[in-house]
């Protein structure tokens, strides 16, 4: 392998089909136990896709899922994937207090570690909900022992985003005199603004030629693309929720039927590793297991 070749980063936000922002006002946590579960089958299918190409990914795991499906989390870990944290209740960080954030995150850590025996060192907030107005969250993450965060999206969006945030991996000092890495979602610069690529609806709805071209453009800058997917994005049998509006219906359900083929091409055309592997390579030192 060319040692100078850019290795991109594959990440998975591990949660149920109903744990998304557009359903939060009608399918809240109080209803989750009554809804049909699909996360196990969807995740095992995704693991098979990754294993068929020899790809290890970072799985940011919802603590609620870890409590209910511990064997799934154990199998993910035993397959060699990195274990990360995606909160417990999937509550946006910009809608809760610091104390609520700390409690939710600690509960998620405990659930994940109980499920697989591995402590998460990377965190991703629900809905990319960390930004310049709630950077206190990074202080709390560092206090709880996290080495890196991947919650900032340097774009302007109707739900999330901080367009002035750095586009590349940065190491930040915290209020507690510690440091934490921020690994932001991938963007390219087009016509003077940051354009999101390589994950979620941006990847699912875009034609493959466009996504691959944008990833190559980012790689020519010497930067990895951070791909992020959710298991439900491959699920053509995902239950339909009525009354959510045309825009949200498109965001949730469009392009699912073709996404597996697009994802397979992505795995064939590019090399991928975990978020932690990229940070360690960029820092030229082991990362993640220094704190006790």
Q: Could you tell me the residue ranges of all domains in the chain?
A: 8-283
Q: Alpha helix (H) ranges present in 6-120?
A: 29-32, 39-52, 63-68, 70-78, 98-116
Rounded Cα distance, 194 and 212, in Å: 17
Token readout for 92 is: 């946006």
- pLDDT confidence of residue 21: 86
Q: What is the mean pLDDT of the chain?
A: 92
- pLDDT confidence of residue 109: 98
The yes-or-no verdict on residue 289 having pLDDT over 70 is no
Please tell me the pTM assigned to this model: 0.94
- pLDDT confidence of residue 60: 98
Task: Name the least confident of 1-10, 31-40, 117-126.
Answer: 1-10
The yes-or-no verdict on residue 290 having pLDDT over 50 is no
Domain 8-283 in CATH 3.20.20.370: yes
Rounded Cα distance, 273 and 278, in Å: 7
Angle at the Cα of 260 from the Cα atoms of 258 and 261, rounded to 5 degrees: 70
Confidence of residue 155 (pLDDT cuts 50, 70, 90): confident
Q: How far is CA 149 from CA 4, 18, 26, 34, 67, in A?
A: 25, 24, 29, 32, 22
Confidence of residue 292 (pLDDT cuts 50, 70, 90): very low
Confidence of residue 291 (pLDDT cuts 50, 70, 90): very low
Confidence of residue 192 (pLDDT cuts 50, 70, 90): confident
* Residue owning tokens 């070749």: 5
């Amino acid at each position: 392998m060319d040692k100078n070749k850019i290795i991109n980063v594959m990440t998975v936000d591990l949660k149920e089909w109903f744990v998304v922002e557009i359903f939060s006002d009608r399918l809240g946590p109080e209803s989750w136990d009554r809804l049909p579960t699909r996360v196990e089958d969807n995740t095992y299918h995704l693991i098979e896709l990754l294993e068929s190409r020899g790809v290890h990914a970072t799985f940011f795991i919802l603590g609620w899922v870890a409590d209910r499906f511990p064997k799934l989390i154990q199998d993910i870990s035993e397959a060699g994937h990195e274990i990360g944290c995606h909160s417990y209740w999937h509550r946006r960080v910009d809608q809760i207090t610091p104390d609520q954030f700390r409690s939710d995150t600690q509960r998620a850590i405990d659930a994940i570690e109980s499920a697989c025996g591995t402590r998460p060192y990377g965190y991703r907030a629900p809905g990319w909900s960390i930004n310049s107005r709630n950077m206190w969250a990074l202080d709390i993450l560092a206090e709880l022992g996290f080495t890196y965060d991947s919650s900032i999206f340097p774009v302007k969006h109707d739900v999330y985003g901080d367009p002035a945030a750095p586009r590349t991996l940065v190491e930040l000092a915290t209020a507690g005199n510690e440091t934490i890495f921020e690994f932001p979602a991938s963007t390219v610069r087009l016509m003077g603004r940051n354009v999101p690529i390589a994950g979620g609806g941006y990847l699912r709805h875009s034609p493959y030629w466009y996504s691959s071209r944008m990833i190559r453009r980012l790689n020519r800058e010497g930067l990895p693309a951070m791909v992020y997917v959710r298991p439900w994005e491959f699920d053509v049998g995902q239950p339909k929720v009525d009354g959510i509006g045309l825009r949200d219906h498109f965001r949730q359900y469009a392009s699912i039927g073709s996404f597996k083929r697009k994802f397979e091409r992505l795995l064939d055309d590019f090399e991928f590793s975990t978020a932690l592997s990229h940070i360690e390579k960029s820092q030229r030192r082991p990362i993640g297991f220094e704190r006790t």
